[in-house]
């Protein structure tokens, strides 16, 4: 969900340092033509009273630039719902590209039906692989599909859930979040993914309207990932900069755009003894998108 990681799980970073925030980050105005987020970069489409049925796109799994020090994380996905500040559901599928504290890249795939936890996909995804992803929702039935067009292997699963949001559709590069409890969440450091290009981006509504991101039947919002004034707990020796990500203008009739990684100054502080006590006293959990 955009800038609002409600009911996210707990996950320890690859160094064992807990990322912690005392309050939720406020969500921006949902219907603006452009906005900033601390964890999303890309585009969302929406229209009051409109329900979306299907979203899809293709991309090349990016190649991370990793260095030793602090672990970092990134994910690329398509989804339905989750854009509204009041949303409590999001149906999504995508790929992950993380860096370990030792500077090793890790590439994987996953899907998630918020508020349920992330589920890993047993599908090999390597940097440079061409990926096609889609989410389709009809009533309480959700179909998530991920195709590795390079290896010709694929994953498809049908699920049923009462928690459904189809009020928006998204194409997103994300800094995954880590939470302590239900309402205390923090975006994790964004991995240097270089750039990602979404292509063949399509969306359809429940009444059968089909189009691209720039379709005239709905509004679209361009989302830029900006750390802003968030205070991060960082490992000793880490830089006081954080990853940002910005989407390009739409091209290909609204079916394609790129997202590019950059860095910006950010307020940070070292982990304290209190943070260590919180880490020891908490139960290990899982990452949430």
At 78 the pLDDT is 98
d(CA 93, CA 88): 17
Whether residue 233 contacts residue 275, with contact meaning beta carbons closer than 8 Å, is answered with yes
- Alpha-carbon distances, residue 168 vs 30, 43, 202, 273, 287 (angstroms): 10, 10, 13, 42, 23
55 in any annotated domain: yes
Does residue 59 form part of some domain?
yes
Torsion of CA 163, 169, 170, 176, to 10 degrees: -10
Phi then psi dihedrals of residue 146, to 5 deg = -135, 120
- Chain-centre distance for alpha carbon 217: 25
pLDDT of residue 72: 94
SS3 state of residue 204: strand
- Asked if residue 166 belongs to a domain, the reply is yes
The token pair that represents 143 in the structure block: 């179909």
Question: How many structural domains compose the chain?
Answer: 1
Tell me, what's the pLDDT at 276? 37
In a domain, 219, yes or no: yes
Q: pLDDT for 143-192, tens place per residue?
A: 999 999 999 999 999 999 999 999 999 999 999 988 665 556 678 899 99
Asked, for residue 289, whether it belongs to a domain, the answer is no
Q: What percent of the chain has pLDDT over 70?
A: 75
| Dist. CA 239–CA 264, nearest whole Å | 11
From the number of C-beta atoms within 10 Å of its C-beta (0-12, 13-18, 19+), residue 273 rates as: exposed
Write the pLDDT tens digit of every residue in 96-119: 999 999 999 999 999 999 888 889
* CATH code (residue 277): 2.60.120.700
Please indicate, yes or no, if residue 223 is contained in any of the structural domains: yes
Phi-psi region of 3 (alpha: psi -120 to 50; beta: other; left: phi over 0): left
Q: And the tokens for 191? A: 């991995």
Tell me, yes or no, whether 19 lies in a domain: no
Can you give the pLDDT at residue 264?
Answer: 86
Segments forming the whole domain that contains residue 239: 34-281
Is 3 inside a domain boundary? no
What's this model's pTM, rounded to 2 decimal places?
Answer: 0.84
Q: What is the pLDDT of residue 26?
A: 32
| Residue ranges in the chain modelled with pLDDT below 50 | 3-29, 229-237, 271-285
| DSSP code at position 278 | H
């Amino acid at each position: 969900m955009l800038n609002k990681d409600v009911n996210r799980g707990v996950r320890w970073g690859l160094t064992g340092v807990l990322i912690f925030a005392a309050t939720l980050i406020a969500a921006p105005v949902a219907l603006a033509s452009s906005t900033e987020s601390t964890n999303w970069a890309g585009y969302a489409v929406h229209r009051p009273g409109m329900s979306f049925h299907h979203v899809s796109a293709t991309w090349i799994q990016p190649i991370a630039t990793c260095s030793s020090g602090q672990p970092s994380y990134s994910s690329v996905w398509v989804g339905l719902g989750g854009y509204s500040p009041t949303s409590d559901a999001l149906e999504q599928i995508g790929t992950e590209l993380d860096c370990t504290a030792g500077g090793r890249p890790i590439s994987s795939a996953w899907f998630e039906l918020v508020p349920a936890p992330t589920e890993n996909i047993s599908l090999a995804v390597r940097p440079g692989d061409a990926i096609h992803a889609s989410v389709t929702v009809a009533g309480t039935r959700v179909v998530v599909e991920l195709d590795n067009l390079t290896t010709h292997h694929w994953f498809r699963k049908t699920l049923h859930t009462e928690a459904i949001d189809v009020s928006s559709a998204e194409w997103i590069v994300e800094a995954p979040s880590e939470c302590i409890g239900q309402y205390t969440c923090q975006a994790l450091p964004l991995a240097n993914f270089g750039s990602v290009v979404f292509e063949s981006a399509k969306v359809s509504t429940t009444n059968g309207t089909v189009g691209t991101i720039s379709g005239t039947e709905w509004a679209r919002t361009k989302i830029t990932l900006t750390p802003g004034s968030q205070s991060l707990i960082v490992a000793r020796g880490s830089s006081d900069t954080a990853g940002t990500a910005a989407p390009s203008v739409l091209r290909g009739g609204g079916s394609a755009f790129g997202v590019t990684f950059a860095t910006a100054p950010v307020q940070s502080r070292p982990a304290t003894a209190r943070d260590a006590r919180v880490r020891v006293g908490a139960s290990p959990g899982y990452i949430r998108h």
